[in-house]
Amino acid sequence: MEEEVKQYLHIRYQWKGQPIIDADYLLDLYFRANYYPTDKLIDFLCYFYGYKITFPQSDVDFQVEKVLKDYPYKYLHPVLTKKLSVTSIVPFAEIYTGHMVLVSDENENIYGVYDDEILLYGRNYNKLMNLLYRNEDKGKLSY
């Protein structure tokens, strides 16, 4: 993650850059919801769990329980895995005041999903924070 973003998080949210929740707790949340996150996603979420961050031009909400409640497996997983031609997806945050959900697949590809619009944010969770800070998308996928 860029130093500018780290400084912003530290100043505005007293973010320390240290894990704030146990990985096993997160895994249990996801498993109970029938989602199977990758180790990299869990590692990343340990640093941001519960944070609601407002960047200068966008926002991101890491309230995992809310995300899992709003995007249950039986509705989200079958539709998105088919659209994206992947075997697994996992929702992990909401952006743009909850209008778009962030999901990752088994290969760490990160997508922003809203209805039929899907944005690709790359494969690096720390770079995702840079993109959200600058309100930049990587690319729009057509479906």
End-to-end Cα spacing for the chain: 30
Q: Can you give the pLDDT at residue 141?
A: 61
The 10s digit of each residue's pLDDT in 29-74 is 999 999 999 999 999 999 999 999 999 989 999 999 999 999 999 9
C-alpha 114: how far from chain center: 13
Per-domain boundaries in the chain: 3-141
Q: Which CATH number fits domain 3-141: 3.40.50.300, 3.80.10.10, 3.40.1580.10, 3.40.30.10?
A: 3.40.1580.10
pTM for the whole structure: 0.93
- CA separation (Å) from 5 to 39, 52, 58, 69, 133? 23, 15, 13, 29, 7
